[in-house]
A and B are shown apart, each in its own frame.
Chain A
């Protein structure tokens, strides 16, 4: 039995996120496998993921969970590291898991790790997190200087705009849609990079999806707005007209406007229903902890986007029929409360621990529901 450490006194720094995974892999060799991502970050940091499950992947259905894409959303890493720690300890001890009022019995914990491969990649963007935790707390992008030609704001790429989905947004979207993305290298927050997958951090996520070919679900953990988002993010969803899809140039210049009849992104009704159902399960699990209310909705209702991880993950099987279908989600943890400075990208750690319990309860319930689909 490993010597567990009561180590949750502070946010994890970048080194600790990685060393936590290494220690979990060492403590639970029968239940977990440390995965070295193939590309170091821009500043040379080697990243790890942790695959957990009672047997190695071997064709089991897989859920890939990513966090730390946006540097300033610190708690996303803790959400995933501590979820892995909970599942591993509970499985080995043969216990249930309780997060406030949300409880899972030992049989559910066992079913989850017997039936699924859970791949957690808690820190996609280590350079950005380090910079946010030690210099500019509002930093969001990676720390790539290759595209910089001006001041300090001209450093970095928004990893969650660097995936290959409607990357040419000036062509794809309506002129007045205003998607949250920029092709200006000096945009402080949402520079998309010079081309899709220009960044090693983005390519590492793609590598996970390629490597775990049995991936059926993908969840990217972000902050904040208390939402559980599912695809799509470029426009409203519709299930009536397959021709209205992101690959059809006939609809260039028409995407991204709400409440219009010109365009809405196609998703088969069965996928839309399942995505909503799983998002609702996440929200129900979270609600049970302490009564929090997250909203399940498509990503477009946050704001129009392109180049995001979730839309890319789901689009893969449409672009390449040899790839598995991945229902994809984005969690936006954390309150939006203009009367509280605890409601921000960096809640006080005491509040962040409560949020971790909320989200981890939601994720366990999400995984259990996914197993049944």
Chain B
């Protein structure tokens, strides 16, 4: 099934946990959710990964051997972060030069 993440939908961040690596691999191959990070194996052998899916698709990821936990509203989080993006051009003044975040250590 191809992904169907129309950008008009709210995208949820969900934590997908499969009973084992083969189950997760099959889910990713067949459902093709957008993912972040990489599969992480837990002590009990289960394997989890972040996925980003429209709300209406989140339930479809639930299958035998697979649990889906909603972590948050990724679209809302991203919209909130958009308020942390600069406006205009902070370097418009030719004398404005970027500085890095490292400390310059005199020796």
Interface residues of B in 63-92 (CB under 8 A from A): 69, 71-72, 74-75, 77-79, 81-82, 84-92
Which residue of chain B has the shortest Cβ distance to A344 in the bound complex? B77
Distance in Å: Cβ of B41 to nearest Cβ of chain A: 11
A261 at the interface (CB under 8 A from B): no
Contact yes or no, A16 B52, CB < 8 A: no
Contact yes or no, B95 A7, CB < 8 A: no
Complex interface: chain A residues within 8 A of B29 (CB): 176-178
B103 at the interface (CB under 8 A from A): yes
Which of A180-188, A243-251, A316-324 is the contact stretch? A180-188
Cα–Cα distance between A239 and B106 once the two chains are bound (Å): 46
Complex interface: chain B residues within 8 A of A177 (CB): 29
Complex interface: chain A residues within 8 A of B87 (CB): 13
Complex interface: chain A residues within 8 A of B28 (CB): 178, 303
B19 at the interface (CB under 8 A from A): no
Contact yes or no, B71 A138, CB < 8 A: no
Cα–Cα distance between A223 and B37 once the two chains are bound (Å): 8
Complex interface: chain B residues within 8 A of A137 (CB): 74-75, 77-79, 81-82
Complex interface: chain B residues within 8 A of A105 (CB): 105, 107
A148 at the interface (CB under 8 A from B): no
Which residue of chain A has the shortest Cβ distance to B100 in the bound complex? A86
A230 at the interface (CB under 8 A from B): no
Q: Which of A24, A138, A361 contacts B98 (CB 8 A)?
A: A24
B58 at the interface (CB under 8 A from A): no
Which residue of chain B has the shortest Cβ distance to A3 in the bound complex? B95
Contact yes or no, B99 A89, CB < 8 A: yes
Contact yes or no, A5 B91, CB < 8 A: yes
Contact yes or no, B101 A13, CB < 8 A: no
Count of residues in B whose CB is under 8 Å from the partner chain = 59
Contact yes or no, B91 A23, CB < 8 A: yes
Which of A36-44, A192-200, A349-357 is the contact stretch? A349-357
A55 at the interface (CB under 8 A from B): no
Contact yes or no, A139 B71, CB < 8 A: no
A208 at the interface (CB under 8 A from B): no
Given known contacts A187-B2, A225-B37, A338-B48, A15 and B89 CB-to-CB distance under 8 angstroms: yes
Cα–Cα distance between A189 and B35 once the two chains are bound (Å): 10
Cα–Cα distance between A20 and B86 once the two chains are bound (Å): 13
Q: Which of B37, B79, B95, B101 contacts A8 (CB 8 A)?
A: B101
Distance in Å: Cβ of A225 to nearest Cβ of chain B: 4
A133 at the interface (CB under 8 A from B): yes
Contact yes or no, B32 A182, CB < 8 A: yes
Cα–Cα distance between A83 and B99 once the two chains are bound (Å): 9
Interface residues of B in 25-77 (CB under 8 A from A): 25, 28-30, 32, 34-40, 48, 50, 52, 69, 71-72, 74-75, 77
Cα–Cα distance between A22 and B85 once the two chains are bound (Å): 20
Cα–Cα distance between A19 and B86 once the two chains are bound (Å): 13
Q: Which of B7, B8, B98, B102 contacts A5 (CB 8 A)?
A: B98
Contact yes or no, A106 B107, CB < 8 A: yes
Contact yes or no, A338 B100, CB < 8 A: no
Cα–Cα distance between A341 and B71 once the two chains are bound (Å): 8
Complex interface: chain B residues within 8 A of A301 (CB): 38
Tell me which of B6, B7, B21, B74 has the highest count of chain A C-beta atoms within 10 A of its own C-beta.
B7
Complex interface: chain B residues within 8 A of A338 (CB): 15, 48, 50, 69, 71
Given known contacts A89-B104, A187-B3, A8 and B99 CB-to-CB distance under 8 angstroms: yes
A372 at the interface (CB under 8 A from B): no
Given known contacts A22-B91, A346-B81, A348-B84, A336 and B40 CB-to-CB distance under 8 angstroms: yes
Cα–Cα distance between A6 and B98 once the two chains are bound (Å): 7
Given known contacts A95-B104, A98-B102, A72 and B78 CB-to-CB distance under 8 angstroms: yes
B11 at the interface (CB under 8 A from A): yes
Complex interface: chain B residues within 8 A of A357 (CB): 101-102
Complex interface: chain A residues within 8 A of B96 (CB): 3, 5, 7, 23
Closest 7 CB pairs of A and B: A137-B78, A178-B29, A86-B100, A336-B37, A188-B5, A346-B81, A96-B105
22 contacts between A and B (CB under 8 A): A5-B96, A7-B96, A9-B86, A10-B85, A11-B85, A22-B91, A86-B101, A89-B100, A96-B106, A98-B102, A98-B103, A103-B105, A132-B78, A137-B78, A139-B7, A152-B8, A176-B29, A188-B6, A224-B36, A338-B71, A349-B81, A353-B101
